[in-house]
Structure 1
Amino acid sequence: MSLLRSRLGLAVAAVLAGLMVTVGGVAASGSAAAASPASAERYVIPKGLKTHKVTASALRFRAAPAGWVKGLLYRGDRVFIRESYVGSPWVKVVVVGKSQSGIRHETRGWVHRQYLRR
């Protein structure tokens, strides 16, 4: 039993030694790819695809369809439609450039399709 415990302890120590340790936001060890988890969430807008303009004077930018409001998009703000569903008035969009209300570039959210035009 003690042999099993010591082998298990060594295996756990080896796994923990291989993990990235982060102290104060700075990676102490690990690969460069694992050092920036925020970059994995970035959405790159494909080149050549058209964006849509907001036509409403103020459009609620939501976290989910009919969800809480993350901010407002104003007439002229540009978005890229990422997802849409047949029969649903809601579309998932990505903000292109900084919006007039300060929503950052590449922020994802949901808006009502009626207020977007090419």
Structure 2
Amino acid sequence: MLLVVTYSRAARRDLRNVCRAHEETVVRRFGRAALFEATGHGAFLACRLREKHSDDVQVERTRPFNEFADADPEVREAAAAYEARDEPSTPYRRFAAGTDHPDPAALKRRDLPDGR
């Protein structure tokens, strides 16, 4: 997919107009941003917005997140355990202390596998 992010009022207006006119290519709209299908038409629309608005439009190629291929089992297990915690107001740092769950500092340093 192509993530198109706008940084000016004019670029947002044109993104909104493009999304309305080409709904078949728009995967999702987020106000200042939209996801386009990774097709020639999606690329055309993204390039057209970049051409017109230059640095006020950012385009990134994305791919869906597959939690089973992209996240380590211990990360998934920690997330599941944290969401099942007894006290909903307990911060993760305190929840993970003294357990086998990864601490927040370690999670922040850990890169996701490329998975391509």
Q: Larger strand proportion, structure 1 or 2?
A: 1
Q: Larger helix proportion, structure 1 or 2?
A: 2
TM-score by length of 1: 0.22
Higher relative contact order (CA 8 A, sep 6+): 2
Larger radius of gyration, structure 1 or 2? 1
TM-score by length of 2: 0.22
